[in-house]
Each structure stands twice: as C-alpha cells, then as structure tokens.
Amino acid sequence: MFVKKFFKKRTVRLLINKYTITITVAGILYFFDKNNIFIQRELRQKLSKLQSECDYYRSETEKNKAEIEALKNNKESLERFAREKYLMKKDNEDVFVIVPDSAKAHMN
C-alpha cells in the first residue's frame, strides 16, 4: 500500500521516467566522466598540433632528401656545402669568419 502511494507521486514518477534517467546519465558522463567534453577538446587541440608538426617534419624530410641527392650528384654543391657549414677550405686558401656585432654581445 505504501509502495503504491510512493510510486504515484509526481516527483517519483518523473525520476523514474526513462527519458529523465537517460538525460541525467548522459549529462553526468558529458561533464563528470574522465573523458568529459573538456578533456576531449584538449585532446583534439593536441592532436591538431601534433598533426601540423608531423606535416612540418615530413616536408623538412623531403627537403633534406632532395639536398642529399644534390650533394651526391653535384661536386660543386658538395664543396659549397662543406665550405658554408663546416668552414672547410682548400690548402692554398685562408678563411675569414665575420661575426656581426650583435653576435659579439651574446658571446660575452
């Protein structure tokens, strides 16, 4: 008898309503779950950043592969690369390195 009166009350019927339960559970999962909407947004931002970095490094890899091929096939480009990057010289040459004033300030 008491149970029948309890379930006839409006608030109890509303709480037991399957739609209310579904919306409540969805809301709890949406905001309070370990994979809630805020964490999902952060993860999407990180994924976007990592994808852009991946694209950048792929393009850099392609550039480097092209440069390596040029160095393998062309002696002049190999010589220019060695002189610029590693300050190499021929036996009868002198190399002068000119350092800008702004770089001198950072050295001290």
pLDDT of the residue at 106: 64
Q: d(Cα 21, Cα 11) in Å, to the nearest integer?
A: 13
Question: pLDDT tens track of the chain, all 108 residues?
Answer: 566 666 666 666 666 777 888 888 888 888 787 888 888 899 999 999 999 999 999 999 999 999 999 989 988 888 888 888 887 777 887 777 788 887 666 665
Q: How far is CA 101 from CA 34, 56, 97, 107, in A?
A: 55, 33, 13, 10
* Residue reference for tokens 């694209």: 55
User: pTM for the complete prediction?
Assistant: 0.54
Fill in the amino acid letter for 38: F
Q: How far is it, in rounded angstroms, from Cα 73 to Cα 77?
A: 9
